[in-house]
């Protein structure tokens, strides 16, 4: 493994351009030639994920906290103590890693365009990882730099510039959202065709299926999302009780409920950053809005409360960076809901709650609680008024994925509500357009026809 990583570093240095992260001229002496060399190039990025140095393919702890602090309101910014002043507080602070993600896409293109598919185990695994990595990068770009999908409008909504090969002169403009979705789906399906089962390549079949389910979920393809989520729940069943507590307490120890994760390999600098980030969040109290998610006395019976918050309103749950099985249970419940299968959605919700709350009684349609009074979510992803059932599903999701970088995207896809936060004597308003990050100004200037996202005019960008 160390030899592979060393070789990959050398290759990357040769390939990186100082002027443009997409400009790589395929000269024979710098392009890898053997399957081992191509594998080394991919493992550079896999190693960065493992040690937490790559913070945009899968968010590391710092990036998770950026989104949880600046992009949602689980913490009281106005009560931040002095040692926590470096924490983000406003959506205008967010960064999406545009260039970093396209650099990974460039390296995946090197592999996909130049490695001969020999049908061997090594080439199959390398290609599976390359296609999956490229797809995941575009998936992250889609969520961050494109507006929330509007069903029926994907052909007219802007997507991302799609780069699938070397061309130093080409400067592609944005495709449609539908073209971007199709590109990601095709790459994930291509990765699955190689049937990678080697954990060394991280993006195994189950991990890739997990990202395909995420894509279908984000783009409201409920009929495709549901069977995938259910398939993954069979191989990664929900944990409860002590097993669940142990999983949450060890966010960097691979377990059956973890499909892919950051920090699975020790690196002192990454460990120091992770510990420092976990320590920093204690200087900003958890908001009453989040505490109120635990309704009707469930702060004493719901296992998630005791592992998330202490009596000082400090967050004590270790930050988790990756993909775990509970996500598929929420995909199942919400897919049922949007497919009009209310009874099945309610059953899925009750099954999840039974794994998290001691002695819980199943909800019926009549006993579903009202949404927490201070919730920001008043409409669903289709712009329809929030029902009691969906509000309860989303409330449970809020509790489940606290400190996992999820809430910002939940707010974005369900209406992108506007709200303000007080910080350092000033009022900061998070506006609807801020859920979609701006295309870097350098790309707007040098690429004729490149469209900027709404709201980012010269006046306010």
What distance in Å separates the CA atoms of residue 343 and residue 43, rounded to the nearest whole number?
45
What distance in Å separates the CA atoms of residue 255 and residue 236, rounded to the nearest whole number?
10
pLDDT band at 72 (very low <50, low <70, confident <90, very high): confident
pLDDT band at 371 (very low <50, low <70, confident <90, very high): confident
- pLDDT tens digits for range 105-119: 999 999 999 999 999
pLDDT band at 30 (very low <50, low <70, confident <90, very high): low
pLDDT computed for residue 12 by the predictor: 43
- pLDDT tens digits for range 299-337: 999 999 999 999 999 999 999 999 999 999 999 999 999
- pLDDT tens digits for range 188-224: 999 999 999 999 999 999 999 999 999 999 999 999 9
pLDDT band at 28 (very low <50, low <70, confident <90, very high): very low
Residue 163 lies in a domain: no
pLDDT band at 15 (very low <50, low <70, confident <90, very high): very low
pLDDT computed for residue 6 by the predictor: 37
Average pLDDT, the chain: 91
pLDDT higher than threshold 70 for residue 121 = yes
pLDDT computed for residue 459 by the predictor: 46
Residue 373 lies in a domain: yes
Quick one: average pLDDT of 263-275? Answer: 84
Residue 66 lies in a domain: no
pLDDT band at 181 (very low <50, low <70, confident <90, very high): very high
pLDDT computed for residue 132 by the predictor: 98
pLDDT higher than threshold 60 for residue 19 = no
pLDDT band at 27 (very low <50, low <70, confident <90, very high): very low
The residue behind tokens 């007219």 is 156
Find the helix or strand (DSSP H, E) in which 426 lies. Answer: strand 426-430
Q: Between vectors from CA 4 to CA 135 and to CA 64, what angle results, nearest 5°?
A: 45
- pLDDT tens digits for range 84-100: 999 999 999 999 999 99
Quick one: average pLDDT of 245-260? Answer: 93
Q: Is the dihedral of CA 397, 399, 400, 402 positive or negative?
A: positive
What distance in Å separates the CA atoms of residue 456 and residue 461, rounded to the nearest whole number?
5
What distance in Å separates the CA atoms of residue 325 and residue 254, rounded to the nearest whole number?
12
What's phi and psi for 286, nearest 5 deg? -65, 140
3-state secondary structure of 324: strand
Residue 366 lies in a domain: yes
**Beta carbons of 392 and 349 less than 8 angstroms apart:** yes
| Token duo for residue 348 | 């899925």
pLDDT higher than threshold 90 for residue 149 = yes
Q: What is the C-alpha end-to-end distance of the chain, expressed in Å?
A: 44
pLDDT band at 2 (very low <50, low <70, confident <90, very high): very low
Residue 53 lies in a domain: no
Residue 280 lies in a domain: yes
Residue 398 lies in a domain: yes
Quick one: average pLDDT of 175-188? Answer: 98
3-state secondary structure of 423: strand
Q: Is the dihedral of CA 424, 375, 60, 311 positive or negative?
A: positive
Q: Which residues contact 184 (CB under 8 A, 6 or more apart)?
A: 135, 138, 139, 142, 215
Residue 310 lies in a domain: yes
pLDDT computed for residue 76 by the predictor: 94
Quick one: average pLDDT of 373-382? Answer: 90
Long-range contacts of residues 225-229, Cβ cutoff 8 Å, at least 24 apart: 225/331, 225/335, 226/331, 226/332, 226/335, 226/336, 226/339, 228/328, 229/328, 229/329, 229/331, 229/332, 229/335
pLDDT computed for residue 370 by the predictor: 85
Number of domain units in the chain: 1
pTM (2 decimals)? 0.93
What distance in Å separates the CA atoms of residue 133 and residue 191, rounded to the nearest whole number?
9
Enclosing domain of residue 326? 222-416
Other Cβ atoms less than 10 A from the Cβ of 61: the count is 28
pLDDT higher than threshold 90 for residue 438 = yes
% of the chain with per-residue pLDDT over 90: 82
């Amino acid at each position: 493994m160390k030899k592979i990583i060393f070789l990959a570093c050398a290759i990357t240095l040769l390939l990186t351009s100082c002027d443009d992260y997409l400009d790589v001229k395929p000269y024979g002496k710098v392009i890898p030639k053997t399957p081992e060399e191509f594998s080394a190039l991919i493992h550079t990025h896999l190693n960065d994920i493992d040690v937490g140095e790559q913070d945009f393919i899968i968010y590391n702890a710092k990036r998770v906290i950026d989104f949880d602090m600046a992009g949602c309101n689980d913490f009281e910014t106005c009560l931040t103590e002095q040692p926590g002043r470096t924490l983000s507080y406003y959506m205008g602070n967010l960064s999406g890693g545009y260039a970093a993600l396209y650099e990974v896409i460039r390296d995946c293109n090197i592999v996909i365009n130049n490695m001969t598919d020999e049908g061997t185990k090594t080439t199959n695994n390398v290609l599976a990882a390359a296609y999956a990595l490229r797809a995941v990068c575009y998936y992250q770009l889609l969520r961050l730099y494109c507006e929330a999908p509007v069903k029926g409008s994907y052909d007219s909504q802007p997507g991302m510039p799609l780069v699938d090969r070397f061309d130093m002169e080409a400067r592609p403009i944005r495709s449609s959202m539908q073209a971007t979705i199709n590109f990601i789906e095709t790459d994930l399906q291509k990765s699955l065709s190689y049937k990678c089962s080697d954990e060394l390549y991280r993006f195994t079949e189950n991990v890739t299926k997990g990202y395909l389910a995420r894509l279908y979920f984000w783009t409201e393809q409920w009929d495709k999302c549901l069977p995938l989520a259910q398939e993954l729940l069979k191989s990664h069943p929900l944990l409860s009780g002590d097993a669940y507590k142990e999983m949450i307490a060890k966010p960097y120890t691979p377990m059956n409920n973890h499909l892919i994760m950051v920090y699975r390999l020790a690196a002192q600098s990454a460990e120091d950053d992770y510990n420092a980030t976990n320590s920093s969040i204690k200087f900003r109290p958890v908001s009453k809005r989040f505490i109120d998610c635990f309704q009707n006395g469930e702060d004493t019976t719901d296992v998630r409360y005791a592992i998330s918050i202490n009596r000082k309103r400090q967050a004590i749950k270790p930050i988790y960076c990756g993909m775990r099985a509970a996500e598929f249970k929420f995909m199942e419940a919400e897919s049922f809901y949007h497919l009009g299968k209310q009874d099945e959605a309610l059953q899925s919700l009750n099954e999840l709650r039974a794994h998290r709350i001691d002695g819980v009684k199943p909800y019926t349609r009549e006993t579903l609680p009202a949404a927490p009074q201070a919730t920001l979510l008043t409409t669903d992803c289709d712009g329809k008024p929030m029902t009691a059932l969906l509000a309860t599903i989303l409330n449970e999701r809020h509790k489940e994925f606290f400190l996992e970088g999820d809430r910002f995207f939940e707010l974005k896809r369900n209406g992108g509500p506007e709200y303000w936060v007080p910080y350092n004597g000033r009022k900061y308003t998070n506006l609807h357009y801020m859920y979609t990050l701006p295309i870097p100004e350098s790309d707007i200037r040098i690429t004729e026809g490149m469209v900027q996202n709404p709201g980012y005019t010269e006046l306010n960008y």
